[in-house]
Structure 1
Amino acid sequence: MSTANPTAKQSHNPKTAVILSILLAGLGQLYNRRYVKGILFIILEISFILTLGRFLNLGLWGLTTLGTMEGTDHSVVLLIYGLVSLILIAFFVTLYIINVKDAKRDALRIQKGERAPTFREAAGNVWDKGFPYFFVTPGLIMLAFIVILPLMFTVALAFTDYSQYNQPPRALLSWVGFDNFARLFFETGGAGNNIWQDTFISVFTWTIVWTVVATTLQITLGLFLALIVNDPRIKFKRLIRTILILPWAVPAFVTILVFAAMFNDRFGAINTDILAVFNLSIPWLQDPFYTRIALIMIQTWLGFPFVFALFTGILQSISKEWYEAAEVDGANRMQKFKSITLPHVLYATAPLLIMQYAGNFNNFNIIYLFNEGGPAVRGQNAGGTDILISWVYDLTFTLNQYSMAAAITIILGLIVTGFAFFQFRKTRSFKEEGNL
């Protein structure tokens, strides 16, 4: 007994529908007798070509050449046009792929003899299944032009020669490949002299030291104070907690400016009122070593209240029965801390602690507000306390070294992204519940 579907059309070839859809969006749908859908795809493609064809042509030409006539062609504008063209092409290619897959899917249904849905049924099916996508699509479009486009522009700028002495439209930009990155990592100057490499090594080293030391100190101090306040022998806990959280209530920029005045070499309270008792005067704002110490102390003061509040809540959630069981087993205070308190606290707060490190790695406010990254260092184009993010700011708004700033920004982003990704992957808090 034959089981073949009597309405099946073996002569209807899905490959033909795919080829027609590739040649012109909508032809495959017309081949499948889905006339309304086919006409809509054809109108969409023709409209895209007629309205954006000239813009895409200009954008792709500008992206590859960055202009050919000095004083007339603006390389930055052409670069932006090119990147916008790439985004528009990406959207068009996505719709084109949807068109091809739709034509193939309908052709397979016709070949198997399945009943093709009417236009109203198809529209209702698309609305039911694609309801989330209809609301997500406007956000994705805005994301592409508000977030992705600036990122693409920064990446592209890092491979050009855009600087103070080479600015459009007076001059045209050129693609220089990885030359900007080579100037940061290799000695490209004469007689082994490369100000970019020397500055990058110095700033990068200080950024790592700043991130590790300042963040570790604020976490350590917050945990230490939380353990003390959580001790059952301590009285007036509410008052103590309120006092310890007060630094968090004051806006950070206000605190930084107050400390900048207090650490002033000439009239600051640290030198004139405190150290003067011991006949000492420390050049807090003139010597990079002392400026860095002051910055670390200020960041510890600014950061510990949040960590203290975080740890305080976690410590109160630890069951007292665990400590009682440990005492029965003969564990001392240090053993209970290492085996119960610390693992529980780190397990619950690891993602937030990681973000503390990432935040301090890019902590522009304290570096700039305290001493604008100073003091100056001979032989470098960055201050003695500049971290990567503040150095990028100076290169962009003071020195006008746009391409080098973009290159450093890419390196900065890769470091933060790689560190965060690795740590989050290793953090149990971000694993599925069944995979712990």
Structure 2
Amino acid sequence: MTTPEKKPKKNFQKHNPAIATILSILFAGLGQLYNRRYIKGAIFIVIEGAFLFAFLEAINYGLWGLRTLGTIPGVDHSIRLLVLGVLSLIVTVIAITLYVFNVLDARKQAQKIKRGWVPLSFKQVIKEVYDYSFPYIITFPGLFLMIFVVIFPLLFSLLLAFTNYDLYHSPPRNLVDWVGLDNFKNLFTVPIWQETFFSVFVWTIVWTVVATTLQIALGFFLAVLVNDERLKFKKLIRTILILPWAVPAFVTILVFAAMFNDDFGAINRDIIIPLFGGDGVAWLSDPLYSRVAIIMVQTWLGFPFIFALFTGILQSISKDWYEAADIDGASRIQKFKNITFPHVMFATAPLLIMQYAQNFNNFNVIYLFNEGGPAVRGQNAGGTDILISWVYKLTFDTNNYSMAAVISIIMGLIVSGFAFYQFRRTRSFKEEGDI
């Protein structure tokens, strides 16, 4: 319920929005006091006072560190200054946003008062805040946490990509410098970086598409097969097929790594050598066979979830549709093509997109199986390394933090762009009235 407006009085008509705006520009909260919004004015005054007296010096130091990354080796710690600079930048943006809101709020309130609006009493203010601002108040802690848990690391990684932070420029002994776009240029022009990046990038795409498609196809095939009304012991079969999902993934990966071992693995010793002779297949020492093995491992790890997902969707399809199709003389292939497949894809499209995005950054299976190996001549990444595992090695093995940040940015753009495009093409993010 809106508060009824009273008829304009002479003192209201003399109320000047320009004065309220100027006072708010001079010091946050003064315009609200001029508008007789004493509580809101006091809050803005306290916020600006705290910013000026408690944070201004620290923010000034942080912004200086962000510009220079230090000037004295052994004294200034460049990365610490970068962290303080990013925090100062975030706090400054928040302060500017509140300051602009304070000016606009004072001007808007002054214009309403000039038209005859009477400021609300304290009790009415509390009721209005509860009615209209309660959702924003509740979500504010989450927003505040997101700023420092999500936005801060992203900004730090983004800025790190424009520095020369590596093993040879490591503080506090050495200073880190801004190098602009040199890291991006080197990634595409320096031979070792260029060859490694394109090799790892292509394998990452192949790995993502093939491994994810295989696990989806296998899960879908088994779900359709088990859902067939002619099959008996469905509960037992479903339980057996979901069992791989119950075993922790890292345990399964380590077991498969031992089974695929070139020297003592069960696959070579008990299957390949007895049947075909020779020394077996170089599963862990040949890049091609390593990639084949790791795709098979991921297919085994991923299909139970897809199977369980599709099983639930298949059971929700009305039998009346199939009965109507039988009456029309539709074959099994036609029923699958026009009823089963579209219904399942429509219901699971967002989750399937997430499967592709997840495998694009699937670090666990790559690293635990053979640590991204084997080594490849002329490259600083292994034969099965994908972008995320290569970033890990650059960070923790060679301490090339700036180049790792560059590759992380490229990864983020690829995943976010692909996910955004695919979600926009589905009905997942559309409002009910727009479908």
TM-score (norm: length of structure 2): 0.94
Change (3 A) 1:92 1:429: closer
Residue by residue over 1:49-95, the C-alpha shift from the partner in whole angstroms, topping out at 9 and shown as x without a partner, is 11011100100100011111111111101111111011111221222
Given candidates 252, 260, 263, the residue that maps to 2:260 is 263
Which has the larger displacement, 63-72 or 6-15?
6-15
Q: What is aligned with 2:207?
A: 210
Residue by residue over 1:360-418, the C-alpha shift from the partner in whole angstroms, topping out at 9 and shown as x without a partner, is 11110000000000000011010000000000000000010000001101111111111
The share of aligned pairs that are identical, in percent, is 66
Q: What is aligned with 1:219?
A: 216
Given candidates 86, 89, 93, the residue that maps to 1:90 is 93
Given candidates 215, 234, 242, the residue that maps to 2:239 is 242
Work out the CA distance in 1 between the residues paired with 2:123 and 2:166: 58
Q: What is aligned with 1:377?
A: 376
Unaligned runs of 5+ in 2: 1-5
Q: What is aligned with 1:14?
A: 17
Which has the larger displacement, 23-32 or 115-124?
115-124
TM-score (norm: length of structure 1): 0.94
- CA-CA distance at 1:302 after TM superposition: 0.7
Q: Which amino acid aligns with 1:241?
A: R
1:77-226 matches, within 5 Å, as: 77-185=80-188, 187=189, 189=190, 194-226=191-223
Given candidates 61, 64, 71, the residue that maps to 1:61 is 64
Work out the CA distance in 2 between the residues paired with 1:122 and 1:293: 66
Work out the CA distance in 2 between the residues paired with 1:12 and 1:391: 65
Work out the CA distance in 1 between the residues paired with 2:96 and 2:304: 51
Work out the CA distance in 2 between the residues paired with 1:78 and 1:127: 41
Unaligned runs of 5+ in 1: none
Q: Is the 8 A contact 2:70 2:78 kept in 1?
A: yes
Q: Which amino acid aligns with 1:152?
A: L
Change (3 A) 1:4 1:139: closer
Work out the CA distance in 2 between the residues paired with 1:127 and 1:318: 44
Change (3 A) 1:138 1:4: closer
Q: Which amino acid aligns with 2:349?
A: A
Q: Is the 8 A contact 1:347 1:429 kept in 2?
A: no
RMSD value, Cα: 1.7
Q: Which amino acid aligns with 1:220?
A: A
Q: What is aligned with 2:354?
A: 355
Q: Which amino acid aligns with 2:138?
A: F
Which has the larger displacement, 284-293 or 40-49?
40-49
Which has the larger displacement, 295-304 or 108-117?
108-117
1:300-315 matches, within 5 Å, as: 300-315=299-314
Change (3 A) 1:250 1:35: closer
Which has the larger displacement, 387-396 or 315-324?
315-324
Which has the larger displacement, 350-359 or 41-50?
41-50
